[in-house]
């Protein structure tokens, strides 16, 4: 599931932006895994997303984990924050 989120960052994120680089943060505190990605969106993306990856992630999470997934996005920026109770 985490790989899908990272793939989205590499596919749609502006990885050459030196002033605001893409970020991946992974933390385990107590019995909670926190996985956060943040990136500026590429200006010219050949493919547009259909939300299938995120839909698949949420379906798998519902089957196996107690979780919170928050996605913030606008035309320039994307942030996902996934918290899984272990």
Domains of the chain: 2-85 (3.30.565.10)
- Specify the DSSP class assigned to residue 17: -
Q: Count other Cβ atoms within 10 Å, centred on residue 84.
A: 19
This prediction's pTM: 0.88
pLDDT, average across residues 44-66? 83
How high is the pLDDT of residue 47? Answer: 66
**Average per-residue pLDDT for the chain:** 92
pLDDT digits (tens, 9 = 90+) for 71-81: 999 999 999 99
């Amino acid at each position: 599931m985490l790989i899908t989120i990272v793939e989205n960052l590499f596919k749609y994120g502006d990885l050459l932006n030196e002033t605001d680089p893409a970020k991946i943060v992974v933390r385990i505190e107590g019995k909670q895994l926190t996985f956060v990605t943040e990136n500026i969106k590429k200006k010219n993306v050949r493919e547009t997303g259909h939300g299938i990856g995120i839909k698949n992630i949420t379906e798998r999470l519902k089957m196996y984990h107690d979780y919170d997934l928050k996605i913030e996005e606008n035309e320039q920026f994307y942030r996902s924050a996934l918290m899984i109770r272990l």
